[in-house]
Amino acid sequence: MPPVRVLTVEGATVTFGGRRVLDGVSFSVEAGEFVGLIGANGAGKTTLFRVVLGLLKPSAGTVRHLGRRVGYVPQKVAIEPDAPLRARDLVALGLDGERFGVRLPSRSRRERVDRMLEAVGAAAFADARVGTLSGGEQQRVLIAHALVGQPSLLVMDEPLANLDIKSGHEIVELVARLAVEQDLAVLLSAHEMNAILPHMDRVVYLAEGRAVSGTTGEVIRSDVLSELYRYPVKVLDVDGTVVVVGGHDVKVR
Amino acid sequence: MTGFLASDPVRVALVVGAMAAVVSGVVGVFTVVRGQSFAGHAFGDLGTLGGSGAFLLNVNPLWGFVSVGAVVAGAMELVGVQRRRGRDVATGIVLGAALGAAALLLYLDTTRSSTTGAAVTVLFGSIFAVASGSLPVMAGLAGAGVLAVVALYRPLLLSSFHPELASVRGVPVRAVTLGFLVLMGVTVSLTSMVVGTILSPALLVGPAACALRLSRRPGVAMVLAAGIGLVVTWAGIALAYASATWPPSHAGWPVSFFVVALVFLAYLGVEAGAAARG
């Protein structure tokens, strides 16, 4: 049985004020795959995400989703510390936030929300206001919000941007584990890619509005990345772990 | 006390005050959560124009408030009240122009009827002078307002905190934003009947701000805000009634003064309580 393509983007083109931000971008994500989206600033990553999420209609090309809905984890939330939204409220809105009317208390719903909070390690602060949580804790709650509706594709925009090294690795490992448990494909953008390298099946890279995809081994190479970022980038093997570093001063011993 | 409740204007005032308090408590919580108290002020200021125009045309000021509120809601959505840059300039210019026009209309009202009644009624409210005939309309508006918040509760909540997350979930964010602005316009119209256009944002935002200090759940905060609004409004009406024998004029102090003063005291009390709890 051929693998199910949960996301197929074909020839997506987006033009802003005469500039082609995306120029015939095509790639797909298969069920259960962990795909990294990389590219320099201004390469069109955010625009591509907006197209994938249906927030922006491409002037040409198509976006097709198969399977269940798409879960989305935005790069940042700007929620005031005194905003009356508890972690569990945000997760519950991931179940039915688009429905009209108020919901009646339901035990099965509450249990679903509790299980999801447990799964992302957020049970301890389930009743805290979202605005009072740390960046890593907020990230966990947002992941729970995105996953509680059991999507088949999780889209994450720079999930590691505001996290320290430990929190970043923990979040990536959490997502990789949940992806297996929930039969979930992941499409994630990251500038800092070291944390995601061990889990990434495939890389889609964007440069000047065009996309190329390949396996991690094909793309995460010094020559390919240096060309992509137009800057010296080295891919090193440190005690068996592949790491990516940039800069003129990097010397390979 | 029996004299108080036997008076027809007082009974009408209590009913009008209750309706305005409940709907502004419910709508006010979302106003505070969405950071749109500014828009509440704009509705109040522009309502002055509608109210003074209605006086000139000899119609119930409520119609002036409501019609201006609906137009303003649409205009604000177009300008984009959510965008800070657009709103700073647009607000300054539009509110200034509207208040200028209101000054003219109030002046014409005053010269025509040779009393200052219009200005006081529009700007500071005269709840004891509300015609009992407008009660059904006000009840309809208040009821529709509360029902609309109930219907929009979840999409409004999600889009208040993160419009993009709401869009991804299929919430029509622009329509919800516009719907809420219309709701605010209607609510400010009702509170303008109680405390006047100038003070109407205080009744919209004050009880809601108190309630949000007391509960971290929006639904609970709405019930609390409606309750606080009801208490301050009714207490304000009772104090205004009692003040008929007070100096200096023995003609009674205005309701709006008492209501807004009580809102302020409630807020101080809640803040002090929060500070004491740490």
Nearest chain A residue to B212 by CA distance is: A84
Q: Is B179 on the interface with A (CB under 8 A)?
A: no
- Domains belonging to chain A, first-starting first, are 1-69+151-220 (3.40.50.300), 78-148 (no CATH)
Task: Decide if A79 and B168 are in contact by the 8 Å CB cutoff.
Answer: no
Residue whose entry in the numeric block shows the structure tokens 């006000």: B138
Residue A173 vs residues A140, A169, B44, B150, B250: alpha-carbon distances, Å: 12, 6, 52, 40, 75
Interface-testing mutation among B30, B165, B174, with chain A (most A C-beta atoms within 10 A): B165
Contact call for B151 and A145, based on CB within 8 A: no
pLDDT tens for B95-133 read: 888 888 888 888 888 777 655 577 777 888 778 878 888
Q: List CB contacts (< 8 A) between B219 and chain A.
A: 102
Distance CA B174, CA B105 (A): 34
Domain at B2-273: CATH architecture? Orthogonal Bundle (1.10)
pLDDT of residue B90: 67
Cβ burial, residue A138 (10 Å; 0-12/13-18/19+)? buried
Q: Is residue A156's pLDDT more than 80?
A: yes
Q: What is the mean pLDDT of residues A4-30?
A: 89
Domain borders along chain B are: 2-273
Taking the C-alpha atoms of residue B205 and residue B187, their distance in angstroms, rounded to an integer, is 11
Contact A74 B164 (CB under 8 A): yes
Q: List, edge to edge, every strand of the sheet that includes A202-207.
A: A70-73, A153-156, A185-189, A34-39, A202-207, A210-215
* Closest by Cα among B59, B26, B21 to B190: B21
List all residues 6 or more positions away from A161 whose beta carbon is below 8 Å from its beta carbon. A75, A76, A191
* C-beta atoms of A72 and B168 within 8 A: yes
**What integer is the mean pLDDT of A161-174?**
86
Cβ contact B171–A103 (<8 Å): no
Q: Give the integer Cα–Cα distance in Å for A204 and A35.
A: 7
Quote the pLDDT of residue A115.
Answer: 93
Please tell me chain B's helix, strand, coil percentages from 3-state DSSP, rounded to the nearest 5.
85, 0, 15
B31-64: pLDDT as tens digits: 999 888 888 888 888 888 888 888 888 888 888 8
pLDDT bin (cut points 50, 70, 90) of residue B88 is low
Q: Which pLDDT score, from 0 to 100, does residue A105 have?
A: 81
Q: Residue B230 pLDDT > 90, yes or no?
A: yes
Q: Which residues contact B15 (CB under 8 A, 6 or more apart)?
A: B135
Contact A178, A141 (CB under 8 A): no
Q: What is the ipTM of this complex?
A: 0.84
User: Are the Cβ atoms of A98 and B154 closer than 8 angstroms?
Assistant: yes
Contact B162 A74 (CB under 8 A): yes
**Chain B residues lying within 8 Å of A103, measured CB to CB:** 154
| B236, pLDDT greater than 90 | yes
DSSP per residue, B129-173: G--GGGHHHHHHHHHHHHHHHHHHHHHHHHHHH-HHHHHHTT--H
Pairs across A and B, CB distance < 8 A:
76
Q: Which residues of chain B does A145 touch, with a Cβ-Cβ cutoff of 8 Å? A: 165
